[in-house]
A and B are shown apart, each in its own frame.
Chain A
Amino acid sequence: MANGAPSPRVVITGMGWVTPLGCDVDTVWSRLLAGESAIAPVDRFCARSFPTNFAAQVREFDLAEHIDPARHPHADLHSRYALGAASVAWKQSGLANHDALDPGRFGVYLGAGEGVLDFDAYAAANIAGWQPESHDMDMALWAKLAGEGLTPEREAEQEPNMAAAHLAREFGCEGPSFNCMTACAASTQSVGEAFELMKYGDADVMLAGGAHSMIHMLGMTGFIRLTAMSTRTDDPATAARPFDATRDGFVMGEGAGIVVLETLEHVLARGATPLAELAGYGSSADAYRITDIHPEGLGAQAAMRRALDQAGVDPSKKTQDGHPPVQYISAHGTGTLENDSIETKAVRGVFGDLAPSVPFSSVKSMMGHLIQAAGAVEMMTCVQAIRTGWVPPTMNLHNPDPACDLDYVANKSRDMNPSGGVDVAMSNGFGFGGQNDTVVVRRFER
């Protein structure tokens, strides 16, 4: 701490998400508990011939239901998702009616992705500029066509810091403002780093989370070429099979998840009630390979250990009531061969003999992989598990993989209330390239 004072506790007072399963917290939660799938053929662009031609698209979203879209006329798709999610979170927090909010003590930290490339204009310039005879570009022609075909607004909106800029403008943040892009770990990291900024004393309130859509021509292409996505075109609804022996890759999703983080002091001063406490955060790098996860998941273990340590949770000890130290883990659980077995190994490494007793499920089996938005959305499932005592299932898990031998809450949600509910939950996010992040959420108690 800058002034030597004890670091403040940070709590969550608002949550909003825009997901392929819906856009309000209760609807999405009931669909997750019911095991519904949002995965279907892509109709955003003509992907019918693509080796992977399905995804989990956001289909029930209208920004006008949340805010006045005219204030953000050029906002890209992911920024609109972010605005919608933040608006829901903001309303829930009650801060909209709080006159004493100091804009300089109010920040934003997102893990938002880039915007959607203006592909048709871009492709037209590229195709016209390519000279097959000389095997080179006519760059002067390309510059002319690209300069005419692309528009300043759309290009500016693709910059990854624009979603944060839209939130800052809409909600009046003038405090610390950040955006990070650590691939699939980004919005776990943004929540964690926002938490650390608040602990240092830089802000009383922050909007944190992520937003992303890669359901477009080059986004799908990139992951198809990496052979990272499922190609189960004959049965998209069950294509996302985390931890199942027949899993063949992740399914692309899109959306946004935004939380309002607030120091406990600030919450209590205005007489509001926290939804849950953000209790720990850990970050690490595999430093292994850009294409592969460390085979023992050492980086993932380091992130989990640090987050648990900060939360004061000893992963090797049961609670006083005899429950596992963490009662729910929202898995990174992508459904790729590599991730799921290594994440399993990493959880075993951290929790040891207690690992099989921890419910550990992947909502990506239902809503797909929201890429940079995944972490924040999945952290919210931890908050919901704490609030309701239920944990969502891993769907499409019928063929056990010997390398995945933990309790994945297969195919059916679970009521944890008979065993005391969920007090501590944890969410993992691991990025391509080896950046790992974990956050720990705890039931709020004074």
Chain B
Amino acid sequence: MYGRKVKLRFFFIVLILLSLILSVFLILKSLEENVVYFKSPSDVKLIGKLENKKIRIGGMVKKNSIKISSNDINFIITDFKNEINVIYSGAVPNLFSEGKGVVAEGYLKDRSYFEASKILAKHDENYMPPEVKKALEEK
């Protein structure tokens, strides 16, 4: 029937195709698991069921809301429509201050309480995360 060479080539093509499919599947699957969604405080209010999944919340740090103790920092993120309380124990970036944009990453405890594991550093005093800008524009 077919020569040895043809069989070998066929075998290689199948092998390559299989590994391609496998790697695409792997990548997509892990993408699904590890993606972090961005929400504004108003979005959070609309969440139906609370999942134990890492999310990002962005908005402005509410004026006079930062409270600091030796272990953690409390503050409120607002999009001027809804607010959410954030508790955080970790390093804060330089430009973290009241009335400025902020993005916090972590887990929702309930619809108005967020436990942040990271606050993202931004490096420009006029900088506003695009997500925040959008959230603020939509209001």
Do chains A and B stick together as partners?
Answer: no
Question: Residues of B with Cβ closer than 8 Å to A?
Answer: none
A residues near B, CB below 8 A? none
